[in-house]
Amino acid sequence: MVREHISTIFDIELDDLRQSILIMGGKVELMIANSVKSLVERDTALAERTIALDHEVNNAEVSIDERCLELLALRQPAARDLRFITIALKIVTDLERIGDQCANIAKRARELNEEPPLKPYIDIPRMAHWAEIMVKEALDAFVRGDADLAVKVCKDDSFVDDLNIQIQRELLTYMIEDPSTISRAMKLNYISKSLERVSDHATNVAEMVIFMVKGKDIRHTIA
């Protein structure tokens, strides 16, 4: 009975951990959407709010890390639970770095909003949309232990990579045709690469979920 009682408390603690990660994920998803929205709608106030939100994401990482250490020390989990907690430790680091990328995007957006727009933005919002879905699905896969969904996320990554290459190529054309666009084009190039990095982090999370569920490490094997 005592053992069962402990197990129930531990289950609640693990659920709390899942919830904290989803809340942190929600903030990160908002940062992805709003950093690019602040560019597309030339909304510098929104860029500022996005940059400010990064502090909350940083604090969430620190607090979830501490919680994981406490659970490891007090509950001494085995097998599946142990794997879940150690992967949670790694996942929050990825989420925190996505937050950093979004803050950087918002900073570039703030600068670009001071200049005339180079072109209508079509592919960058598409990239942001996909990256946001990838982060959301990677975290859903994590909390539900859904390896199939995680595999889908890994596959979606190539779509974002292709968009990034396409954007870079297009920006190169602008720069060659009109050197006065170079500074703005390089900032957009930076934003595109940052979104690609966001999707890389989502892929890292998804790969860890597959490892967690299947106990098999597929990192570094998916092309």
Residues forming contacts to a second copy in the complex (CB under 8 A) are: 55, 58-59, 61-62, 65-66, 68-69, 72-73, 76, 78-79, 82-83, 86, 89-90, 93, 168, 172, 175-176, 179, 182-183, 186, 189, 193, 204, 217, 219-220
Phi, psi of 220 (to 5 degrees): 70, 15
Of 75 and 129, nearer to a second copy (C-beta) is: 75
Q: Do 124 and 191 meet the contact criterion of CB atoms below 8 Å apart?
A: yes
Nearer to a second copy, 117 or 179 (CB): 179
For residue 27, the minimal CB distance to a second copy (Å) is 14
Q: Please, what is the minimum distance in Å from the beta carbon of residue 111 to a second copy?
A: 14
CA distances from residue 203 to 10, 54, 116, 134, 148 in whole angstroms, order as listed: 29, 21, 35, 8, 13
CB of 153 to a second copy, least distance (A): 18
Q: How far is the CB of 144 from a second copy (least distance, A)?
A: 22
Q: Which of 45, 116 has the CB closer to a second copy?
A: 116
Residue 68 vs 124, nearer CB to a second copy: 68
Count of all residues that appear for the chain in the document = 223
- In the complex, minimum distance from the CB of residue 155 to a second copy, in angstroms, rounded to a whole number: 19
Q: Which is nearer to a second copy, 119 or 219 (CB)?
A: 219
